[in-house]
Amino acid sequence: MTHPAPASSVEPAARRDLADAPFLVAARGGLPSRVPVWFMRQAGRSLPEYRELRAGTRMLQACFEPDLVREITLQPVRRHGVDAAILFSDIVVPLRAAGIGLDIVPGTGPVVDHPVRTLADVEALPVLDAEQVDPVADAVRLLVADLGDTPLIGFTGAPFTLASYLVEGGPSRNHERTKALMYADPGTWHTLLDRLADTALTFLRAQVAAGVDAVQVFDSWAGALSTRDYREFVLPHSAKVLGGLADAGVPRIHFGVGTGALLGSMREAGADVVGVDWRTPLDEAVRRVEAETDRGDVVVQGNLDPATLFAGDDVVRREATRIVDEGRAAAGHVFNLGHGVLPDTDPDVLTRLVAHLHTLTPGR
């Protein structure tokens, strides 16, 4: 007797042939046919159609409903004509899937039931099994079937940023409990980050197997660390995640906020594309990364200050053009914001920004 195959054993989607997609060409350091652009948090509260669809469904519930994930991911692609889609999900999705008690509280962010502070807490922490994110993989398969020639970006939180939520119990300004654990009990710290690296890598591999065309590792809060501490306490674990995808054949983007002093180290961790926030001009970022890593040909992503989108179209166009010009110092440039779209952003400003970028000439 045969049984219908569960969704998890559906064949991995055949990777689409997107060799000419501007986003992928630029991410690989080639010359794209136009300036590629996508926006961190392009899906979400800036879009009325998102707010309507999400009404009555909790964020983390939505992330496990493949049809909803599919539709929310497609919304900004349809509306803005961006050059890539990013999977609608959250960095805490793999933690919740693994069985860790947490929720996303509107207006606050991820909140953890039992903060992780001791070796016993760390050892009790479940590590993700790939089947636990089957709904996410299903959403990816639906999306690659729908997206035509638009690439799909998968993502994960990096071990440090995930650890910060788990140790603090929620969002934190100074990350003091996280750093206290790191400094006072390095053994427990490294055990925690190693487990989170395994979870992050399993989450990304599941997305790649289901068909995403690129991945981004968000180490949003790594900018809280000195270069020295980043290299000792964080880099080896992020390298496990990025290095674990070296043979996957998809570009790997590595992004954090306030990471001007870490950009070289973040590339060294295994990034093909270095994400830059708005504080460091892209040409300066390229100089720093190339000097720190003794390698040329860095590809960068960024870096319009999301607050600029409130200053009127003339300012937006001027700043966007400046950033494209600064990006010519790099082997490749993917235009993005320096952090996520702010919820009150007028989405029409984003649509007009994409149209403006597509009139510019890419390349060095």
Select the span of 37-45, 206-214, 226-234, 302-310 touching ligand CP3 (CB under 6 A).
37-45
To the nearest whole angstrom, how small is the minimum distance from the Cβ of residue 343 to ligand CP3? 7
Residues 148-167 that bind ligand CP3 (CB under 6 A): 155
Please tell me whether residue 217 binds ligand CP3 under the rule CB under 6 A: no
Considering only residues 34, 41, 231, 317, which one is a binding residue for ligand CP3 as defined by CB under 6 A? 41
CB 300 within 8 A of CB 282: yes
CB 142 within 8 A of CB 207: no
Residues noted as catalytic: 41, 45, 54, 90, 165
- The C-alpha torsion from 307 through 310 and 315 to 318, rounded to 10°, is 50
Nearer to ligand CP3, 59 or 329 (CB): 59
Please tell me whether residue 340 binds ligand CP3 under the rule CB under 6 A: yes
CA atoms within 13 A on the CB side of 182: 22
d(CA 16, CA 295): 31
Identify the CA nearest to 165 among candidates 228, 89, 101: 101
Please tell me whether residue 358 binds ligand CP3 under the rule CB under 6 A: no
Please tell me whether residue 44 binds ligand CP3 under the rule CB under 6 A: yes
Nearer to ligand CP3, 215 or 299 (CB): 215
Select the span of 18-26, 38-46, 142-150, 187-195 touching ligand CP3 (CB under 6 A).
38-46
Length of the chain: 364
d(CA 133, CA 26): 30
Please tell me whether residue 333 binds ligand CP3 under the rule CB under 6 A: no
Please tell me whether residue 278 binds ligand CP3 under the rule CB under 6 A: no
d(CA 181, CA 152): 36
Identify the CA nearest to 42 among candidates 93, 94, 91, 83: 83
Which residues in this chain contact ligand CP3 in the complex, by CB under 6 A? 40-45, 54, 59, 86, 88, 90-91, 104, 106-107, 109-110, 155, 218, 220, 340
